[in-house]
């Protein structure tokens, strides 16, 4: 599941972004939402916060802000 959601979908998003597809920035936004949700659920399930959780959550937020900022111009 992790490989499909965070791996394959990210690869597809990258290819679409590099080719300039019109849905690419919305997929970047979606990737950020998926990553933040995944980290949030993982923290709840593990009941602990590792520093890497914060790094990945920050990466997810950057994807969200980038996707929102670029796609709504």
How many CB atoms within 10 Å of residue 5?
A: 14
What pLDDT shows up at residue 66?
93
**Distance between CA 71 and CA 55 in Å, rounded?**
24
User: pTM here?
Assistant: 0.87
Residues 23, 70: contact at Cβ < 8 Å? Answer: no
Angstrom CA distances, 54 to 1, 4, 66, 72, stand at 21, 22, 18, 27
Confidence class of residue 69 from pLDDT cuts 50, 70 and 90?
Answer: confident
Q: What is the pLDDT of residues 18-41, one digit of tens each?
A: 999 999 999 999 999 999 999 999
What pLDDT shows up at residue 26?
94
Residues 62, 32: contact at Cβ < 8 Å? Answer: yes
Q: Is 2 left (phi over 0), alpha (psi -120 to 50) or beta?
A: alpha
What pLDDT shows up at residue 73?
54
């Amino acid at each position: 599941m992790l490989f499909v959601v965070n791996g394959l979908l990210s690869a597809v998003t990258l290819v679409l972004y590099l080719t300039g597809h019109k849905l690419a920035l919305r997929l970047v936004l979606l990737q950020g939402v998926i990553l933040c949700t995944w980290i949030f659920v993982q923290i709840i399930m593990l009941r602990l916060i590792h520093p890497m959780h914060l790094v990945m959550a920050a990466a997810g937020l950057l994807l969200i802000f980038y996707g929102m900022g670029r796609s709504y111009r």
